[in-house]
Amino acid sequence: MENKKVTLVGAGLVGSLLSIYLAKRGYKIDLFERRPDMRKANISAGRSINLALSDRGWKGLEGVGIADEIKKIAIPMYARAIHHKDGTTVHQPYGKDNQAIYSVSRAEINMRLMDLAEQQKNVKIHFNERCTSINRKNMEAEFENTETNSTTKIKSDLLFGSDGAFASSRLNMQLSNDRFEYNQHYISAGYKELIIPPGPNGEFLLEKNALHIWPRGSFMMIALPNMDGNFTCTLFFPFEGEKSFASLQTREQVQKFFEEEFPDAVPLMPTLLDDYMNNPVASLVTVKCFPWTFDNKIGLIGDAAHAIVPFFGQGMNCGFEDCVVLNDLIEKHKEDWSEIFPEYESLRKPDGDAIADLAIANFVEMRDKTADPKFILQKKIEARFNSKYPDKWIPLYSMVTYSPQIRYSTALKEGQKQEAIMQKIMAITDIENKWDSEEVEKAMLNSIK
């Protein structure tokens, strides 16, 4: 087992972490990455939505002892800071006490993970290597070097596709595997990245320890803090329609729109117009597929198996959790991949589907409901009930974010039950004034029986 060879396609977040897990078990890993080495080339990881690390992600990092290393580049966010159109800001805590999600730059964490992977003597990362084919019969993968155009063929005992939402490894399976279930769906909104730079002395110009949201119904802007005092802003905006990327074409239109919609942000965005005109619009895809494993020798993991939209902040966390699940199964089945792979995909697929659906639903929550007093009241009632009966009610957001012991699929089902109960509770006459009454508490206790 010591010398079992593994090919990993994709040295993104999940590929890099998986290589560390496998290296610690004695596998010999060749990790192929399409892009140049971003640690040398100063090239972005392709997308730079800041990421929010939460408990499932931390658990994945702790599993190989690197959580502390990553914590150094992570900024805790304890609350949503909701920016209303009138310029006022309201805080909505993300959980109890010190519960937080952690802002990390995608590029930063990826570079650290590559460093940590290379510290394993049995991991080698090959850059500028594009996967062009995977021969399932002889387990030979072919890579083309994007600089030299030379071709490398490599055989291995196992192969993992960790090459993201548009995985060439998965495409290879789509084309070679009979009865491959495949679904790619785009939401009608895209995103554009903008920036709020630090103040003159490098200080944060918005509250540092919060995830900032400007919810505007059919669209929103968010901002997450970076270590250097910047905030990465992201405008999530419909492609078409009255207020959309299509309708904002000139600098004047952009200026007017931002002043109207995000009046408190505009003074903090000196390069707004240039950024808006120059930065690309990216689309947001959900990918569902099955199977995730092939011939008990090839597996898909992370976005390659289940790409999701970013609105629950769970893409990376889910991918890291994949590594934990896989590692537990390697342990359980004593390296017998004919047992590991079938259980991996049957166990994990419902969770991938669940977080995909939860992420879509959370877009509506973030862009629309966070500004709705009724919704805020509902969350207050749930939080109050949770603090009195923590074993009877864990809010959906907390199940997903702070409760790695609860599966995504369980969280989805529980969340649906909770929502049905809360609709009845919110329909109680005069709920605004008696939300913290014994009557409401009793009604909830009765509902969950």
**Rounded to the nearest whole angstrom, what is the least distance from the CB of residue 131 to a copy of itself in the complex?**
14
Residue among 89 and 176 whose Cβ is closer to a copy of itself:
176
Residue among 151 and 183 whose Cβ is closer to a copy of itself:
183
**Rounded to the nearest whole angstrom, what is the least distance from the CB of residue 18 to a copy of itself in the complex?**
26
Residue among 186 and 251 whose Cβ is closer to a copy of itself:
186
**Rounded to the nearest whole angstrom, what is the least distance from the CB of residue 439 to a copy of itself in the complex?**
40
**Rounded to the nearest whole angstrom, what is the least distance from the CB of residue 171 to a copy of itself in the complex?**
8
Judged by the rule CB under 8 A, the positions of this chain that interact with a copy of itself are 171, 174-175, 178-186, 239, 283
Residue among 139 and 289 whose Cβ is closer to a copy of itself:
289
- In angstroms, the CA 403 to CA 289 distance is 26
Partnered with residue 143 across adjacent β-strands are 131, 152
Residue among 152 and 177 whose Cβ is closer to a copy of itself:
177
**Rounded to the nearest whole angstrom, what is the least distance from the CB of residue 149 to a copy of itself in the complex?**
18
Residue among 147 and 178 whose Cβ is closer to a copy of itself:
178
**Rounded to the nearest whole angstrom, what is the least distance from the CB of residue 15 to a copy of itself in the complex?**
21
Residue among 285 and 377 whose Cβ is closer to a copy of itself:
285
Backbone angles phi, psi at 6, to 5 degrees: -125, 130
**Rounded to the nearest whole angstrom, what is the least distance from the CB of residue 178 to a copy of itself in the complex?**
5
**Rounded to the nearest whole angstrom, what is the least distance from the CB of residue 137 to a copy of itself in the complex?**
19
Residue among 166 and 389 whose Cβ is closer to a copy of itself:
166
